[in-house]
Structure 1
Amino acid sequence: MQFAQRLQNVETSAIREIFKLLGRPGIISFAGGFPDASLFDATGIAQATRRAIEQHPAAALQYGPTEGYQPLREQIARHMQTEGAQVQPQDLIVTTGSQQALDLLGKIMLSPGDKVLVEGPTFLATIQCFRLYGAEVISVPIDEHGVQTDALERLIVEHQPRLVYLIPTFGNPSGALLPLERRRKVLELAAAHQVLVVEDNPYGELYFDAPPPPSLLALSTEVAGSRDYLAYCGSFSKTLSPGLRLGWLVAPAALLANAVMCKQFSDANSSMLAQVSTSEYWQTGRQTATLRQVQQTYARRATLMGECLRRELGNALAFTQPQGGMFIWARLTGANGTSTDAAAFVQRAIAQGVAVVPGTPFYASAPDTATFRMSYATVAEDRIIEGVSRLARALG
């Protein structure tokens, strides 16, 4: 059987391959990027779903508008307004997870041979998505504060990309938080070079102490012309439930119209039962307490993991303590004669009964082979202590 040529541009996710090894008894996994299912408000979601079916059966169980359930669009717009973004319901569509938003952007914006700039490292599925549409994906260097805007400017001038994809707030896998001045610089570059910047923000509400700086979308009012070259992807997956498969896309009107057209070809509309249930849930206000519990739990686990890493691995490992999100991005330093080969380290770690993800697949180009990703989100505190102890034994 002969398959489409576009499949030659992508490969199976390295994370999914590691998951195949996690069925071993006793293994501790820092590899996943999932939220903790024990923190889902299952009772509240169940009650909201029941109300959706009982009170709005025609809306919840029937086909719906491609743009999304109007009450939910209005709620999303109001929520974004509280975070400083000037968004109206007509400025957004509901998508089947934020991953569909990225896929729609790929369909609309990319032709074979086009260039895309992403952070190096960045969300693996985004690299795969854009490559599927024939794009050449190029990594922009980051540091502990996120994308280096001087390098971004240089690469925009050099490559004239069709779009720039960023996770400015607690990035995956880096955990980095882009400072306010760099956010403004990104918007200035978007306006000056008339290049679409895609802001992916699934982790922005998972802050531990102080809230992060305003989103690029919120700041766009301060940089003339930048809103015309800005798309925003939001998600319910990390704050409510990934099983609902709901996200949203905010974009300029012409881009959004094409997204609606392409979504019609894909799934007609995202699950109406999920949309109406989520709308009913939001009306209760329960999400505030649920989110606070998630923030507090992840903060404790992130702090503990950082303490354990510093104690157990010392200067053999370099990392920045996260201020939010779900990940610690680490680099083997080679101190005391230890190896800097993260791929080999990952295999030794699995042999010790703990799983992490090698960093190389998160780079579109020029990978740092000494890096790897850990998640504290789903791991109990006693397991974090034991897992890091096992990581220390895996140093070579």
Structure 2
Amino acid sequence: MRLTVDRHSGMPMYRQLAAQLRESIVSGALAEGYRLPPERELATRLEVNRTTVLQAYQQLKDEGFIASKVGKGTFVLPAAPAVSVAPGTTAASIPPASVDAIGTTALPASPASPRAADPVADVGSASGEPPIIRPPWSILFSDYSNRFTYHDIAAADRAQRSGSGGRGGGTGPHPIDFATGSPNPADIPDDLLRAVSLEAFSSHEFDGQPESPIEGFDELRDLLAKHMRDRGVGCDARNVMVLSGSEQGIDLIVRAFVNPGDCVLVEQSTFFPALQTFRSADARIIGVPVDGHGMRTDLLEGYCARFHPKLIYTIPTFHNPTGTTMPIERRRTLVDVARRYQCLIVEDDAYGDLWYGQGPRPIPLAGMENTGYVMYLSTFSKTVTSGLRTGWVVADPHVIARLAALRRMVDQHTSTSSQRICLELLKEGRIAGHVASLAAAYRTRRDVILDALERYMPHDMRWTRPQGGYYIWATLPGGVRALDLLGRCRARGVTFMPGGVFDVDESDDAHIRLNMVRPDAADLERGIQVIGESLNAM
């Protein structure tokens, strides 16, 4: 088995390694049951860090190509056997290939049974049944979809599941969930949503106008523009387009501006769905170092001079995942550098309304720049409910027109029902009262967690102290791996998100993200205690 890595390639080495192994498995060069080299041995052979091999193996495990057996090694999985599917059978009821079916010694190369990705998956049985022909998925999927790093999604999904199924150590149906990036269901303003929904659909304002314009209803755009002016951003309805969630805005902006090979600068750790969008566009993603105050803008000019980015994507206020807020001086530097190098800024401000009321309120970048270089994104999903998939973009009218044209190929417009609900929420400041009470509750939860971290964590662990939003970013003691800690905590019913999910290079195993607002308030201290006890036992 001949494997190589190109250190000068734009593709991470672990992905190069995973791709070569995947191709060898699919082609039959590595037969089912073949034992792969141990991680340390292969790392030595390739002269790479063992983490590179671990990541490559993990990606192939997530994709169903290999599996490990304790004390035996890592093996190529057999293809799932063909089954005759009766009417009403679900995919979940079809058993996957099992690692227990694998031999325990390395097998000589031999013709492999075709995998699910191959055109001919299974031959007919002795009864004369015709062969089952499956589509050759690995060939048919587009380059766009293949550039997605699906193991990131799988890793995030695993982190959000409890190992024990119990709350805080085995009692109750739910884990203490610091992982999921959405609010606690108990914080959803059900009474307010019920009231505004009744008002929205009993109103006759929209009679004779059943369809929304692509940019959204004019009245909603006017109200969003007023909301932005209250935040210090000079704009009117022409600068606003209503979105089906702010992630749609990232996708549309990438479609509008990013060509394959274009450079996008981001914080070294950032919102991983944004990274997925940039990767799918075949952009060159460069991470800018961060510290306790967000992006190191003192380094930004050097990055722009070297890489000439098309976009700078940033979360300057209550950052996801770190919880940090960029000071006013850095914001001025960021805007100034972007203007001089004529690169656009995408300001993702999903959490900006959740200010805890301490210190000066952060001014959006869009409020510091009026020539069109900043495209601002926000959403109702973090302040009302994640089920209300409604957001907005504020940008130069030329940008709004281009995004609207591109949107015709996606969804035409945001749900009319959602827009009506948002209209009622924004009228007479109704949402403002809800957000203020929510921010006060979140501030209390933050204080509970910070106090618990002081009491239960090792002395050499560090964490951020957010002034708003959802997240605390913790730096683990030296030698502790986030994934190892996650495994211990999941077994006791506590989950969090490992830092590698958010890292541009996918190699950060020294940080964890804690969502302060997702668990029940009564579970916060217990959850931190479990993490601390697990750390002290490592």
TM-score when normalising by structure 2 = 0.69
1:373 is paired with a residue of what secondary structure?
strand
Quick one: distance in 2 between partners of 1:366 and 1:354? 23
Q: CA offset at residue 284 of structure 1?
A: 4.0
What is residue 81 of structure 1 aligned with on the other side? Answer: 229
Quick one: distance in 2 between partners of 1:268 and 1:56? 23
Quick one: distance in 2 between partners of 1:373 and 1:124? 13
What is residue 520 of structure 2 aligned with on the other side? Answer: 380
Q: CA offset at residue 254 of structure 1?
A: 2.3
What is residue 215 of structure 1 aligned with on the other side? Answer: 364
**Letter in structure 1 aligned against 2:483:** A
2:321 is paired with a residue of what secondary structure?
coil
Give the conservation status (yes or no) of the 8 Å contact 1:92–1:250.
Answer: yes
Question: Map of 1:114-193 to 2, 5 A cutoff?
Answer: 114-193=262-341
Give the conservation status (yes or no) of the 8 Å contact 1:305–1:388.
Answer: yes
- Over residues 240-270 of structure 1, what are the superposed CA-to-partner deviations in whole Å (9 max), with x where a residue is unaligned? 2221211111112222211001111100000
Give the conservation status (yes or no) of the 8 Å contact 2:164–2:492.
Answer: no
What is residue 6 of structure 2 aligned with on the other side? Answer: none
1:64 is paired with a residue of what secondary structure?
coil
Question: Map of 1:287-302 to 2, 5 A cutoff?
Answer: 287-302=431-446
Question: Map of 1:335-374 to 2, 5 A cutoff?
Answer: 339-365=479-505, 367-374=507-514
Report percent identity of matched pairs: 31
Quick one: distance in 2 between partners of 1:15 and 1:142? 22
What is residue 354 of structure 2 aligned with on the other side? Answer: 206
More displaced stretch, 80-89 vs 2-11? 2-11
Q: CA offset at residue 7 of structure 1?
A: 2.0
- Over residues 135-157 of structure 1, what are the superposed CA-to-partner deviations in whole Å (9 max), with x where a residue is unaligned? 12111110000000022221111
Higher RCO structure, 1 or 2 (CA under 8 Å, sep 6+): 1
2:393 is aligned with 1:249: yes
**Letter in structure 1 aligned against 2:305:** V
What is residue 420 of structure 2 aligned with on the other side? Answer: 276
Quick one: distance in 1 between partners of 2:349 and 2:424? 23
Quick one: distance in 2 between partners of 1:385 and 1:176? 22
Question: Map of 1:60-99 to 2, 5 A cutoff?
Answer: 62-99=210-247
Q: Residue 377 and residue 111 in structure 1: after superposition, are their counterparts in 2 closer, same or farther (change >3 A)?
A: same
1:165 is paired with a residue of what secondary structure?
strand
Specify every segment of 5 or more residues in structure 1 that has no aligned partner in the other structure, as ranges: 222-226
- Over residues 39-93 of structure 1, what are the superposed CA-to-partner deviations in whole Å (9 max), with x where a residue is unaligned? 2222222222222222137469832100001111000001111111111100110
Quick one: distance in 1 between partners of 2:338 and 2:432? 34
2:234 is paired with a residue of what secondary structure?
coil
Give the conservation status (yes or no) of the 8 Å contact 1:352–1:393.
Answer: no
Quick one: distance in 1 between partners of 2:207 and 2:185? 28
Larger radius of gyration, structure 1 or 2?
A: 2
Quick one: distance in 2 between partners of 1:8 and 1:191? 34
Q: CA offset at residue 317 of structure 1?
A: 1.4
2:213 is paired with a residue of what secondary structure?
coil
1:137 is paired with a residue of what secondary structure?
strand
**Letter in structure 1 aligned against 2:523:** R
- Over residues 325-364 of structure 1, what are the superposed CA-to-partner deviations in whole Å (9 max), with x where a residue is unaligned? 1000011122xxxx32112111111122211111012011
Q: CA offset at residue 208 of structure 1?
A: 1.2
Give the conservation status (yes or no) of the 8 Å contact 1:39–1:293.
Answer: no
Q: CA offset at residue 230 of structure 1?
A: 1.2
What is residue 407 of structure 2 aligned with on the other side? Answer: 263
Quick one: distance in 2 between partners of 1:22 and 1:106? 37
Match of 2:380 among 227, 236, 241: 236
Give the conservation status (yes or no) of the 8 Å contact 2:246–2:379.
Answer: yes
Give the conservation status (yes or no) of the 8 Å contact 1:177–1:212.
Answer: no
Q: Residue 255 and residue 23 in structure 1: after superposition, are their counterparts in 2 closer, same or farther (change >3 A)?
A: farther
What is residue 224 of structure 1 aligned with on the other side? Answer: none
Q: Residue 141 and residue 7 in structure 1: after superposition, are their counterparts in 2 closer, same or farther (change >3 A)?
A: same
Quick one: distance in 2 between partners of 1:122 and 1:323? 18
- Over residues 275-298 of structure 1, what are the superposed CA-to-partner deviations in whole Å (9 max), with x where a residue is unaligned? 012102221432122111111111
Q: CA offset at residue 23 of structure 1?
A: 7.8
1:281 is paired with a residue of what secondary structure?
helix
2:457 is paired with a residue of what secondary structure?
helix
1:234 is paired with a residue of what secondary structure?
strand
Give the conservation status (yes or no) of the 8 Å contact 1:74–1:89.
Answer: yes
**Letter in structure 2 aligned against 1:4:** S
Quick one: distance in 1 between partners of 2:273 and 2:166? 28
1:261 is paired with a residue of what secondary structure?
helix
**Letter in structure 2 aligned against 1:297:** A
Quick one: distance in 2 between partners of 1:207 and 1:108? 32
Quick one: distance in 2 between partners of 1:154 and 1:219? 22
Report how many residues are paired. 387
2:157 is aligned with 1:16: yes
TM-score when normalising by structure 1 = 0.93
2:176 is aligned with 1:28: yes
Quick one: distance in 1 between partners of 2:342 and 2:208? 40
**Letter in structure 1 aligned against 2:216:** G
Q: Residue 366 and residue 36 in structure 1: after superposition, are their counterparts in 2 closer, same or farther (change >3 A)?
A: closer
Give the conservation status (yes or no) of the 8 Å contact 1:352–1:391.
Answer: no
**Letter in structure 2 aligned against 1:157:** A
- Over residues 83-113 of structure 1, what are the superposed CA-to-partner deviations in whole Å (9 max), with x where a residue is unaligned? 1111110011000010100110111111211
More displaced stretch, 256-265 vs 54-63? 54-63
Q: Residue 20 and residue 356 in structure 1: after superposition, are their counterparts in 2 closer, same or farther (change >3 A)?
A: closer
Q: CA offset at residue 234 of structure 1?
A: 1.4
Specify every segment of 5 or more residues in structure 2 that has no aligned partner in the other structure, as ranges: 1-136, 168-174
